[in-house]
Amino acid sequence: MASHAFMAPSPVWDPGLQRRALLEYAMDVVVASPLGPLGVLAEPLIVRADDGRLRQTVRVQSLDRHALRPDQPVELELAGAPVAVDRLDAGAHALRFAIPEVDAPTALRVRLPELGVEAALTVSPQRHWEVHLIHHSHLDIGYTDPQHVVRTQHLGYLDSVVELAARTDDLDDDARFRWNEEALFSVTDWLDRRTPRRRDQLLDLVRGGRLSLSAMPFNLHTEMCSTDELHELLRPARRLRDAHGLRFRTAMQTDVPGSVTGLPDALGQLGVEFLSVAHNWAGRSDPDATGGLDLPRLFRWRGPAGHELTVWRTDSPHGMAYMEGPINGFHEDYPVTEELFPAYLSSLGKHPYPLPPGSVFGWLTGSEAQLARTPYPWDLLHLRVHGRWSDNAPPSRTISDVVAAWNARWAYPRLRVSTNEDFLDAVTARIGDRLETFTGDWNDWWAHGVGSAVAPVAVGRRAQWTLADAQTLDAAVGLLGVKSATPADDSAVHSVDDPQGADEGYAQLALWDEHTWGASDSWEYAEQGSSSGTHQWAWKVARAYAALDEAEQGLHRATAGFGDLVTTGPGADASVYVVNTAGQPRTDPVEVFVPAGLVPLGTALVLTDGRDGTRLAHAEREEPAGSRGLGRYLRFVLRDVPPVGHVRVDLTVDPDGTTPSVRPLPDPTVLENDRLTARFDHLRGTVASIVDRATGRELVDPEAAVGFNGYVYDRYATVGRSNHNTSKFADQGNLALLSSRALNGAAAVLEAVDDGVEARVVVERSAPGAELLRTTYRLRHGDGRLEIVNRLRKKSTWDKESAFFAFGFAAAEPRVVAEVAGGLAGPGADRVPGGATYLHTIRSWVALQDGATGIGWASGDVPLVELGTIALPYLPFPNTMGQVEPGTVYSWVHNNVWDTNFPVEQAFDAELRYAVGVGTGDAAVIAAETAAPLVQPFRTVLVGPGLQGDAGTSGLEAPASASLLAVEDPRVRLVGLRSEGTDALVVRLVGLDPAGVRTTLRLPPGVVTASTASYLGDPGEPLPVTDGRVRVDVPGAGTAAVLLTLG
């Protein structure tokens, strides 16, 4: 019975179609013949003749893959004169001839008389290519298989690496097997699970240049990292460096099309000089529309703190840049490679990109600007190769055998099974001084995928700031006289090199921020393979929760240590020590749980500031859950808590007093204190006005397309649960892919009260695509920040959707910057050409500088923002609003646009916390202060008669207020402290001013010496300590650190 293809092959996935497209695109001339189209190509192949002279080659290729007789009559005419036909083998479907090497463009005529074919072309001098083949495996921790399967496979790959290196020692040096481990995670995994003898074999390969180790643990959504996490990711590399004398000079970042601005500084502090990236545009990117045509394959990237990396960027737009080796057949055999690779090199040297427009999915459209792009100019090439055409591919000897055969035949191109270090050295020696330098954020096009997991993302963010605070508090405890807050007999004790278990917390965070967020078919539930979506997601989400668990346990240990140092205040029934982990004094809200066993429920309490006895207004609420502690939460505002310091608040039972009460607001449309006035339009369900009472400045733009804190719900026309489906669609100029847009409805007021600490209004609004939208507006007495909590509950759907909250500020031409890991991004900051511009993934705030007025907007739980407009999340990401509002921030709450790698549906019930602040001065400083209560809350230590420590143990009294360290200039923020052993401390800083800041640190008692340092504690230049202070330069809006040694 005859069989017929059920479906035509897709050019997206069919390598045969891609290869044919490559061959056709490379040809200098294509002519018709009885055998179908024949292409003629002046190849970049150089052969050494018997007389020692170099000759270049010309190929005639049957594009329909018909056989061409090796003795096919041929006539050649070079520069108008006949030349002898010097035939070279070219396989069954081509003819190849060697001609004298030319030193200038020269006319060539090729005739095949029997076929009636004649072709005229120009042959040019060919580059003497030096090609570094970078053999590696692209690590997806998941995607192709459940995570445990992937990890096991990569353990076996490193066994093979050791074996293949030994088995190719007899080959010429260029052909010997070498391996580039893309992810250090696999190496540390392997070292932990192999015998000392096997470990020594692997480490010897590293020292001998046969195995290159990336400093990066794996491929990351770096924009999801906190600033300290971005550096802590490199701690495993630092440990290997110190334990085994290894030097980390290179790093790899694969698949993810972009990296955060702080990455060069993080890598540079470890000594990394070179970053190899291969961007998978995946049909979800449009780099040429944002300047990508101006970004070469080789360049330098400078971070905000001044560290520079040499960057290789594989820019092939076919969505599989790290698969260029397999496209050229290096994993198959020599004949396939010899047919394809000359065409690839020729195309790379004369076209903007080596593959033609439209050959595979992606953004390459063949526009006039794209076709005018300068081809690759150098004769040095970095080419990634895999052992198979797949992610998570194994190592293979085939690459070495292909190189051995190639170099035996051709003088040029010269191939080398190479390492990133070898390529870096060649670049540095030959063209290093001619590379362009770029600065700024290289924004990730895939970042919108993190909107597919609202609840776990919030968990990961909470883990990040809790980890930082746990280490700071632990360091403070050490400074106050307790060496370890962890009980000595605890089997889970963490070493002094891992304060409060932070390293395990960072390790789990890194696995959460690793770029694989689901299976290839993320909606399926198979046990194995690329459709094991539900299994992979369960493992992935567990990383965020494990990180939070480590962070909170570390914080509990640190606060317990602090509690051992302090006592209740004089005459108090209990005391709360309120700890500020920031570098500047703060006035912020406090919430503390008081168990009923310490103060019985129903008992009236008086709260007093331990510094001066001032009575503090407070509010109370009981814990309603029977499965949680019996007691009440106290809320109050504490003013001027010193930096890296505390204030004691005393709790005293008042037998004649009453518990706090609330009073209704006279007008539920207004919240007002001495700093701000906020008015609400409940008919529209939005904020109508926010006025800075000090200046009379209105913050809300009345002309904004969507009201302030308005909810926007979009639905899209593509179908879900179809692999890479949205990658194959683009807007045709009519926004037809935006199938509907709806806004929230009117607001029903549920509560409008003043509880003595804050005035608040609670409303409920109808919200398309959601079951519940309940909003709480809070304005604390004396506070210049309006807090907004949007509780959003939605069911799961795989219909394509997005939701936003709009915050339109009255600022006509503001300078807008956003906080990202290690620096600033946004319209007002530098950026690397080709990065995404329609969205940003922020740490916690956006700053709008409008003349002398600074406006801060903060988001505690959801990181995605769009500035000025809402873009359609399909190529080419056009504006859907009909206008651009420079002062509007859209918080992109959730989406499920991706059809692979990320979840395609989600349900959640989450409180999304925002804050708005205003003042006169630096907007970035105001924004950081606005965000502080959301992401760096005051920490509390409750002590009572049965919980207090013995102050005599440390020889210290428990002062009502103390400060251990301060940062003088508010444009420099303290990221955190970390103990280094028992006698050193790292102070981690980040700047907010692109021009750089010189600031003063007030140091804790007992500091002997100070020096500049890396975030990981490597010492730099000495810093003089004068009167307990040290001057520190924070270059740009980047990171800096100081290492303090203690007496």
- Residues 546, 590 within the same domain: no
Residue 953's pLDDT band, with cuts at 50, 70 and 90, is very low
Query: Where on the phi/psi map is residue 1000: left (φ > 0), alpha (ψ -120 to 50), or beta?
Result: beta
- Coil, strand or helix at 839: coil
* Residue 2 in this model has a pLDDT that exceeds 80: no
pLDDT at 480: 82
Task: Express as a percent the part of the chain with pLDDT over 90.
Answer: 87
CATH number, domain with residue 591? 2.60.40.1180
pLDDT tens per residue, range 828-845: 899 999 999 999 999 999
List, as one string, the DSSP characters of 232-270: HTTHHHHHHHHHH-----EEEEEESS-B-TTHHHHHHHT
Residue 527 and residue 585 in one domain: no
Q: Which of the four pLDDT bands, split at 50, 70 and 90, describes residue 359?
A: low
Residues 109 and 154 in one domain: no
Residue pair 664/752 in contact (Cβ under 8 Å)? The answer is: yes
Q: Among 97, 123, 149, identify where a domain stops.
A: 123
Binned at pLDDT 50, 70 and 90, residue 659 comes out as confident
Instruction: Compute the CA torsion angle 729, 730, 736, 740 (nearest 10 deg).
Output: 70
Clarify whether residues 179 and 142 are in a common domain.
yes
Confidence of residue 366 (pLDDT cuts 50, 70, 90): low
Looking at every residue in the chain, the average pLDDT score rounds to 93
Instruction: Please indicate, yes or no, if residue 662 is contained in any of the structural domains.
Output: no
Residues, the chain, total? Answer: 1047
Give Cα 711 to chain centroid, integer Å. 27
Q: pLDDT for 103-136, tens place per residue?
A: 999 999 999 999 999 999 999 999 999 999 999 9
Alpha helices in 431-453 (DSSP H): none
pLDDT at residue 793 tops 90 = yes
Residue 942 falls within a domain, yes or no?
A: no
| Average of per-residue pLDDT across 173-200 | 97
What number of CA atoms fall less than 13 Å from residue 262's CA on the CB side?
A: 31
Domain boundary among 123, 153, 184: 123
Number of structural domains the chain divides into: 6
Tokens 């859950």 found at: 625
- In this structure, the number of other CB atoms found within 10 A of the CB of residue 244 comes to 13
The DSSP code sequence of 165-188 is: HHHTTTS-GGGS--EEES-HHHHH
Output the pLDDT for position 360: 56
- In whole angstroms, what is the distance from residue 697 CA to residue 694 CA? 8
Per-residue confidence band for 281, with pLDDT thresholds at 50, 70 and 90: confident
Q: pLDDT value at position 750? A: 98
Query: Which whole number is the average pLDDT over 417-426?
Result: 98
Average pLDDT on 32-55 reads: 96
649 & 725 share domain: no
Kindly tell me if the per-residue pLDDT of 959 is higher than 60.
Answer: yes
Of 282-291, 612-621, 639-648, 888-897, which range is least confident? 282-291
| Whether 201 and 286 share a structural domain | yes
Are 276 and 353 contacting, i.e. CB atoms less than 8 angstroms apart? no
For residues 906 and 541, is the Cβ–Cβ distance under 8 A?
no
Among residues 774, 787, 779, 777, the alpha carbon closest in space to that of 747 is found at 774
Taking residues 303-329, report their average pLDDT: 88
Closest CA to 186 of 221, 225, 223, 213: 213
Per-residue pLDDT band for 370 (boundaries 50, 70, 90) equals confident
pLDDT for 351 beyond 50: yes
Q: 77 to each of 62, 85, 104, 125, 168, how far by Cα in Å?
A: 21, 10, 16, 17, 44
Pick the closest to residue 435 from 332, 340, 298 (CA basis).
Answer: 298
- The pLDDT value recorded for residue 490 is 40
Last residue of one domain, picked from the residues 535, 563, 591: 563
Whether pLDDT at 17 is above 90: no
State whether 200 and 292 are in the same domain: yes
In the predicted model, what is the mean pLDDT of residues 886-909? Answer: 96
Dist. CA 1010–CA 965, nearest whole Å: 14
The residue type of 543 is: R
Split at pLDDT 50, 70, 90, the class of 950 is low
Where does 431-583 show beta strands of DSSP type E? 437-439, 574-580
Q: pLDDT of 76-102, one tens digit each?
A: 999 999 999 999 999 999 999 999 999
Give the range among 116-130, 478-492, 535-549, 926-940 with minimum mean pLDDT.
478-492
Q: How far is CA 666 from CA 669, 759, 761, 784, 786, in A?
A: 9, 11, 11, 21, 19
Rounded to an integer, what is the distance from CA 894 to the centroid of its chain?
A: 18
At residue 419, does pLDDT exceed 90? yes
Q: What pLDDT was estimated at residue 945?
A: 85
State whether residue 207 is helix, strand or coil: helix
Q: Are 873 and 419 in contact, with CB atoms under 8 Å apart?
A: no
215 and 308 housed in the same domain: yes
Say whether pLDDT at 482 is over 60: no
Other beta carbons within 10 angstroms of residue 456's beta carbon come to 23
pLDDT for 924 equals 98
In this structure, the answer to whether residues 290 and 390 fall within a common structural domain is yes
Evaluate whether 269 touches 228 at the Cβ level (below 8 Å): no
Say if 950 falls within a structural domain: no
- What's the rounded Cα separation, in Å, for the pair 608 and 900? 56
Domain contains 527: yes
Residues 83-101 as b or e (16 or more Cβ within 10 Å = b)? eeeeebebbebbbbbbbbb
- For 569-594, how does the pLDDT look when each residue is reduced to its tens digit (9 = 90+)? 999 999 999 999 999 999 999 999 99
Yes or no: say if 915 and 984 are a contact pair by the CB < 8 Å rule: no
Do 382 and 515 belong together in one domain?
Answer: no
Dist. CA 708–CA 706, nearest whole Å: 7
Phi, psi of 406 (to 5 degrees): -65, -55
* Residues 186, 46 share a domain: no
Note whether 627 and 729 are same-domain residues. no
Residue 29 lies in a domain: yes
- In a domain, residue 526? The reply is yes
Q: What is the mean pLDDT of residues 994-1016?
A: 96
When pLDDT is averaged across residues 262-268 and rounded to a whole number, the result is: 98
Q: What is the pLDDT of residue 11?
A: 55
Neighbours of 148 (CB within 10 A): 12
Q: For position 83, which CATH number holds?
A: 2.60.40
Mind spelling out the 3-state secondary structure of 336-385?
HHHHHHHHHHHHHHHCCCCCCCCCCCCCCCCCHHHHCCCCCCCCEEEEEE
Where does the pLDDT of residue 358 fall: very low under 50, low under 70, confident under 90, or very high at 90 and above? low
Using alpha carbons only, give the angle 99, 103, 104 rounded to the nearest 5 degrees.
Answer: 105
Specify the pLDDT at position 657: 85
Domain ranges, residue 462: 447-479+483-563
Backbone phi and psi for residue 117, each to the nearest 5 degrees, phi listed first:
-115, 135
What is the separation, in whole angstroms, between the first and last Cα of the chain?
A: 88
d(Cα 404, Cα 394) in Å, to the nearest integer?
20
Residue 838 belongs to some domain of the structure: yes
Mean pLDDT calculated for residue range 207-233: 98
Q: Is residue 131 part of a domain?
A: no
> Minimal CA–CA distance to 248: which of 200, 297, 207?
207
Assigned token pair, 583: 């570098």
Q: How far apart are CA 735 and CA 1003, in angstroms?
A: 58
Amino acid 487: pLDDT: 40
CATH number of the domain bearing residue 274: 3.20.110.10
pLDDT digits (tens, 9 = 90+) for 128-171: 999 999 999 999 999 999 999 999 999 999 999 999 999 999 99
Taking 50 as the threshold, does the pLDDT of residue 484 lie above it?
no
